[in-house]
Amino acid sequence: MKKVQGYDSFQRMNYLYQISKYIVDKNPALSSYYGNLIVNVAKKNVLKIHPEIKRQICKKCKCMLVHKTSASMKIKNKNKSKIIEWTCHTCGMKKILPTYKDRDNTVWLERPEAVVEIIS
């Protein structure tokens, strides 16, 4: 069985993500702290954060963006396409994610052609 580089760091980031998501409605400042730890662990060990997790972290305060708890979500029309606008309640930062009807919205990492080898 192959060892994955940074396995313990990925486990720590996963644990911090779960704690941050759980505590966001009780204490947003603590959620921001855990989100900041996730980003710092990834930077220190030169690891990539999964795009789904990255989309849920505010870029300014690093708080988890949870609809109706720590952030509000609006779907807007812009130039024949729709965008999703997240607004963080902690810092007021707006995060815009594009969506398209005719295009595949998945990130390249999530597509089948991106998988080179499956380690079990």
* pLDDT confidence of residue 82: 85
One digit per residue, the tens of pLDDT, for the chain of length 120 reads: 567 788 999 999 999 999 999 999 999 999 999 999 999 999 999 999 988 899 999 999 999 999 999 999 999 988 877 889 999 999 999 999 888 666 666 777 677 887 777 777
CB 24 within 8 A of CB 64: yes
pTM exceeding 0.75: yes
CB 69 within 8 A of CB 24: yes
CA pair distance 57, 78, nearest whole angstrom: 24
* Residue bearing tokens 């220190």: 44
Please report the pLDDT score of residue 70 as a whole number: 94
